[in-house]
Amino acid sequence: MNLQQQQWWAEAQNDENAIIIDVRTPEEFERGIIPNAINIDIYKGQGFIYLIEELDKSKTYYVYCHAGSRSAKACQVMQQLGFEKTYNLLGGISEWNGPIVEAN
């Protein structure tokens, strides 16, 4: 499901099962992230699938990339793998007005 920034962030903050996933490349991830995001690079192909399959399907996933297209694709892949609660950030981090922190 695609969500506008305000709803995406509000729901992520109020969801005790929320996990934020950044599907950009590690280089992009190093430039700054939405707080508490974990990096799983969608360009890793099968490696992306392996990492996603290790995640808890009962959690809620808030996914973003640079502009919203890679994260939309990631949400589709996750749904095909049996994840029921995936939310794509429309516009990605390029249109993000919320907090950005350095990657750990």
Query: Residue range 38-50: average pLDDT?
Result: 97
pLDDT at residue number 26 = 97
Residue 44 reports pLDDT greater than 90: yes
Residue 77 reports pLDDT greater than 80: yes
Percent of the chain at pLDDT exceeding 90: 98
Which is nearest to 25 in space by CA: 13, 12, 42, 11? Answer: 42
pLDDT tens digits, 45-59: 999 999 999 999 999
- SS3 (DSSP) at 13: helix
pTM, 2 dp: 0.96
Catalytic positions are: 65
31: phi > 0 → left, psi -120 to 50 → alpha, else beta; which? alpha
Are residues 23 and 40 in contact, defined by beta-carbon separation less than 8 angstroms? yes
| CA 101 and chain centroid, separation | 15
pLDDT at residue number 104 = 76
- Beta-strand ranges (E) seen in the chain are 2-3, 18-22, 38-39, 60-64, 86-89
Could you say which of 3.40.50.720, 3.90.1150.10, 2.160.10.10, 3.40.250.10 is the CATH number of the domain covering 18-83?
3.40.250.10
